[in-house]
């Protein structure tokens, strides 16, 4: 089942903050966040693992609430380069080799 992302779209001015949520009705094993710019490949941002371990890069942080089966991506002091569509990809464990189930995406637009 597809995770649900909210909000569907966000418009910011440079320097403002944003939070993107990813919720699942099934127990999550891990959550993977990606950003995709128009016409380009999705770019990996971060992995959050069950148990709280985080792996990522860039000045972006995230959290994983096991109780709520929800992950949140925090974008602080946004820059123009943060514009794009953000996807969460969820892994449900077991024999889910190579399979990520993606949310519908959140479109983030940062204006000068």
Question: Which residues of the chain form contacts with another protein (CB under 8 A)?
Answer: 2, 29-30, 32, 34, 40-44, 47, 49-50, 55, 87, 89, 91, 93, 95-105
CB of 98 to another protein, least distance (A): 3
Residue 7: is the preceding peptide bond cis (ω within 30°)? yes
CB of 49 to another protein, least distance (A): 6
Beta partners for 11?
A: 109
Nearest 5°: phi and psi at 72?
-125, 135
By beta-carbon proximity to another protein, the closer residue of 16 and 47 is 47
By beta-carbon proximity to another protein, the closer residue of 42 and 84 is 42
By beta-carbon proximity to another protein, the closer residue of 70 and 85 is 85
The tokens describing 21, both together, are 């949520």
Q: Rounded to whole angstroms, how far apart are CA atoms 31 and 26?
A: 12
């Amino acid at each position: 089942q597809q995770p649900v992302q909210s909000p569907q779209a966000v418009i910011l001015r440079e320097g403002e903050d944003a939070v993107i949520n990813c919720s699942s009705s099934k127990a999550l094993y891990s959550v993977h966040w990606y950003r995709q710019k128009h016409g380009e490949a999705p770019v990996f941002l971060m992995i959050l693992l069950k148990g709280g371990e985080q792996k990522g890069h860039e000045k972006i942080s995230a959290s994983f609430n096991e109780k709520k089966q929800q992950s949140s991506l925090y974008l602080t002091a946004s820059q123009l380069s943060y514009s794009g569509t953000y996807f969460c990809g969820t892994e449900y464990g077991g024999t889910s080799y190579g399979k990520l189930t993606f949310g519908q995406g959140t479109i983030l637009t940062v204006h000068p």
